[in-house]
């Protein structure tokens, strides 16, 4: 850490802002008289190949800003007041004991995040179930990966973001990018795709709007928001009609194709063109390009997944992969493009309502018995299955959850139907937020616990390839901030469960995680900190210290007991909330290049904030003119649940019946005041990516 007044210090770290986890070196220059300046140098790792995007180049800024919370704070007479850690813990013990006594153990909820390290995610799950004894734990990854994860589990018997290493992408001769804007969300991956194009790949991008990613497309299918499953159905129908099938693969490695064939024969391509807004000709062109290519890869992300049919929509795209046998080979596979920094690891270690570490299931007796054994308790002491993240907000309204412990998340901005969420958070008996900053959620808290930033916090993260990486801590924690794991262990001790939380380092937590995951689907047992220091990350599953993997899954068998993949027959699902005369436009949401998630960190990086300092609504000029909206003017965007005020941004690249608003801002610009909380029936993903809205000028002229 930098201690001298003058001079230079250097620290290595990796960017926290997406699942590539690019490495970098930061040099701090101190003159002794002014604020230090910083130079950031990209460092190669296997995924980033030495690239950094604008977020990574400026990621040191938020961690070093004066806005960091440096000591615990409690709300006393309406004001947040500095208190000691001991007082903070005593307040938690007192409140939790009182609530549990009056309303039962499930009166306390725990809310985690997909940016936490594997160690923190693991410990948070154990903390909820052992230290607090509550079944109510879920996390913001419910909004990120739940559709793709459940689709991967059902289809392949296993969910790991990419079935292939990134280095396979340039070997693909056709690439489908469905509902993913890699150019802005994971920018350093773009060279993999441009390299594939140089090798002759045909790139198909499916998105309602033009983006940096559609710029490399040979074919852009401008689908209506929410109609991705139908579009993939149309492509499957063409594959069937054209005989572009891998019959041997279908016979030997899949089940369900005969049923799918009958289903597809009933579908009408003309009707699908009408539903999706993509012409029959373009659907045919896309399907034939993919079907005829010798190798191919399909990627999905939140555009497909954050729908009320997200689970089945992903399965519809997986059918394309299985019908053509394009998986388990160099240049052939599938990828769910993870958004959060630890979106992959965050969903593996038990901070999800239905899961225990290693992807074990909380309602499976054998899984419960194994994890209870590792934790030194009787399986009967393990709580059962809770509910998904948004459903926890409903439980708060129903007064079943009376206190909420939030770590690594900003639920007020990331949940749909934010007005409802805010009402719930305000009526809680007790809200505790562990954060680096006074986020929108923290502003409502009764108690705030300051946590370390990524540059100070040692731990492992699992990138989108399923490659586990070690991020070392190279700065001292400022003020009185603590690491997540320390806070969880301290509170567990206060709640009388210290014997189960006797950890002295992140590594000691990881070593228990390894054991808890042993024999599970996401098996980390063979991975150690020592190994991660020597190797450039290690892929899971890794059952032993000598186990090595190419990172390519399903080369000869799938993970289901019978070894075969499961093909689904998918309906042409319509969005939950169709447009009408009052709400004639479909809103879709997403990211911009400069910001991450709800912007709590990136809005506090001055370079990133200066580049995109406010939200906006992207709207087609023809649509805007009909509504009397000038470019760069303030508008009110309204749905059945609420309204926001943002600035208009004309774009001829978006569908005329759709508008787009980014998700990085809170308060009056919080797009989730508008979004639809209807949930996918299987994975409980909300339909963020399509709801009916109207847009009107704020100051009509």
**Site of interaction with ligand SF4 (CB under 6 A):** 15, 17-18, 20-22, 48, 52-53, 55-56, 186-188
Query: Residue 460 has which token pair?
Result: 């492992």
- State which residue, 193 or 249, has the beta carbon closest to ligand SF4: 193
CB of 416 to ligand SF4, least distance (A): 24
- State which residue, 161 or 687, has the beta carbon closest to ligand SF4: 161
CB environment 591-600: b (16+ within 10 A), e (fewer): bbbbbbbbbb
- State which residue, 45 or 140, has the beta carbon closest to ligand SF4: 45
CB of 18 to ligand SF4, least distance (A): 3
Cβ contact 371:378 at 8 Å:
no
CB of 185 to ligand SF4, least distance (A): 8
Using DSSP, state whether 628 is helix, strand or coil: coil
Instruction: Give the per-residue SS3 of 299-323.
Output: EECHHHHCCCCHHHHHHHHHHHHHH
Question: Rounded to an integer, what distance in angstroms lies between the CA atom of residue 159 and that of residue 335?
Answer: 10
The helix (H) or strand (E) run that includes residue 679 is strand 676-679
Cβ contact 20:464 at 8 Å:
yes
User: With 0-12 CB in 10 A as exposed, 13-18 as middle and 19+ as buried, what is 248?
Assistant: exposed
The distance of Cα 77 from the centroid of its chain, to the nearest Å, equals: 37
Instruction: Describe the chain by its helix, strand, coil percentages, rounded to 5.
Output: 35, 20, 45
CB of 55 to ligand SF4, least distance (A): 4
- State which residue, 57 or 232, has the beta carbon closest to ligand SF4: 57
CB of 21 to ligand SF4, least distance (A): 5
Cβ contact 468:458 at 8 Å:
no
CB of 593 to ligand SF4, least distance (A): 9
CB of 342 to ligand SF4, least distance (A): 11
- State which residue, 163 or 186, has the beta carbon closest to ligand SF4: 186
The residue sitting closest to ligand SF4, measured at its beta carbon, is 56
- State which residue, 351 or 601, has the beta carbon closest to ligand SF4: 601
- State which residue, 187 or 520, has the beta carbon closest to ligand SF4: 187
Question: Rounded to an integer, what distance in angstroms lies between the CA atom of residue 403 and that of residue 392?
Answer: 11
CB of 553 to ligand SF4, least distance (A): 23
CB of 596 to ligand SF4, least distance (A): 7
The helix (H) or strand (E) run that includes residue 124 is helix 118-126
Alpha helices in 139-245 (DSSP H): 146-156, 182-185, 190-198, 228-242
HSE-up of 391 (CA within 13 Å, CB side)? 17
- State which residue, 18 or 245, has the beta carbon closest to ligand SF4: 18
- State which residue, 21 or 601, has the beta carbon closest to ligand SF4: 21
Backbone angles phi, psi at 633, to 5 degrees: -110, 155
CB of 337 to ligand SF4, least distance (A): 11
Cα dihedral 594, 596, 600, 602, rounded to 10, equals -30
Among all chains, which residue has been given the structure tokens 């399923």?
466
- State which residue, 297 or 461, has the beta carbon closest to ligand SF4: 461
């Amino acid at each position: 850490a930098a201690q001298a007044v003058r001079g230079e210090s250097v620290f290595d770290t990796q960017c926290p802002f997406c699942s590539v986890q690019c490495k970098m070196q930061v040099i701090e220059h101190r003159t002794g008289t002014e604020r230090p300046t910083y130079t950031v140098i990209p460092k190669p790792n296997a995924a980033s190949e030495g690239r950094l995007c604008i977020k990574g180049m400026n990621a040191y800024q938020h961690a070093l800003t004066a806005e960091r919370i440096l000591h615990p704070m409690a709300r006393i007479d309406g004001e947040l007041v500095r208190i000691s850690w001991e007082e903070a813990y005593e307040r938690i013990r007192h409140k939790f004991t009182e609530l549990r006594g009056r309303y039962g153990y499930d009166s306390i909820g725990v809310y985690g995040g997909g940016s936490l390290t594997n160690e923190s995610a693991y410990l948070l799950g154990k903390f909820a179930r052992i230290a607090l004894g509550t079944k109510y734990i879920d996390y913001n990854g419910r909004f990120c990966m739940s559709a793709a994860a459940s689709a991967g589990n059902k289809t392949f018997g296993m969910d790991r973001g990419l079935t292939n290493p990134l280095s396979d992408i340039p070997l693909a001769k056709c690439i489908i990018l469905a509902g993913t804007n890699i150019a802005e969300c994971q920018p350093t991956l773009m060279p993999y795709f441009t390299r594939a194009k140089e090798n002759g790949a045909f790139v198909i991008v499916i998105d309602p709007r033009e983006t940096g990613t559609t710029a490399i497309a040979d074919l852009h299918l401008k689908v209506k928001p929410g109609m991705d499953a139908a579009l993939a159905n149309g492509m499957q129908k063409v594959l069937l009609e054209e005989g572009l099938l891998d019959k041997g693969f279908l016979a030997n490695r899949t089940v369900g194709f005969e049923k799918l064939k009958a289903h597809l024969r009933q579908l009408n391509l003309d009707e699908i063109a009408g539903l999706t807004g993509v012409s029959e000709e373009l659907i045919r062109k896309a399907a034939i390009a993919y079907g005829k290519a010798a190798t191919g890869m399909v990627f999905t992300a939140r555009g497909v997944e954050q729908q009320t049919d997200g689970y089945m929509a992903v399965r519809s795209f997986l059918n394309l992969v299985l019908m053509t046998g394009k998986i388990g080979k160099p240049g052939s596979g599938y990828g769910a493009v993870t958004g959060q920094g630890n979106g992959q690891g965050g969903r593996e270690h038990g901070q999800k309502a239905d899961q225990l570490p290693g992807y074990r299931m909380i309602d499976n007796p054998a899984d419960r018995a194994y994890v209870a054994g590792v934790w030194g308790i009787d399986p009967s002491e393990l709580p059962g299955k809770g509910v998904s993240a948004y459903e926890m907000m409903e439980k708060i309204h129903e007064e079943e959850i009376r206190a909420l412990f939030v770590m690594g998340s900003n639920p007020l901005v990331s949940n749909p139907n934010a007005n409802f969420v805010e009402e719930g958070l305000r009526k809680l008996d007790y809200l505790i937020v562990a954060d680096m900053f006074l986020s929108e959620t923290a502003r409502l808290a009764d108690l705030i616990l300051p946590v370390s930033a990524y540059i100070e916090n040692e731990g492992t993260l699992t990138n989108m390839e399923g490659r586990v990486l070690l991020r070392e801590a190279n700065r001292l924690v400022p003020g009185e901030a603590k690491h997540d794991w320390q806070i969880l262990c301290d509170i567990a001790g206060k709640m009388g469960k210290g014997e189960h939380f006797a950890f002295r380092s992140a590594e000691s937590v990881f070593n228990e995680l390894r054991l808890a995951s042993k024999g599970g689907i996401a098996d980390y047992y063979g991975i150690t900190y020592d190994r991660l220091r020597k190797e450039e990350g290690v892929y899971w599953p890794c059952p032993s210290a000598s186990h090595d993997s190419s990172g390519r899954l399903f080369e000869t068998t799938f993970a289901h007991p019978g070894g075969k993949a499961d093909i689904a027959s998918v309906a042409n699902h319509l969005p939950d909330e169709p447009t009408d005369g009052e709400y004639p436009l479909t809103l879709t949401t997403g990211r911009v290049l400069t910001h991450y998630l709800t912007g709590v960190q990136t809005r506090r990086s001055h370079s990133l904030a200066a580049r995109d300092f406010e939200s906006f609504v992207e709207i087609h000029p023809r649509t805007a003119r009909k509504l009397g909206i000038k470019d760069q003017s303030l508008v009110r965007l309204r749905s059945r649940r609420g309204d926001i005020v943002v600035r208009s941004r004309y774009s001829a690249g978006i569908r005329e019946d759709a508008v787009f608003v980014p998700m990085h801002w809170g308060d009056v610009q919080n797009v989730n005041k508008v979004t639809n909380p209807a949930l996918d029936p299987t994975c409980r993903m909300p339909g963020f990516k399509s709801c009916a809205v109207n847009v009107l000028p704020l100051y009509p002229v």
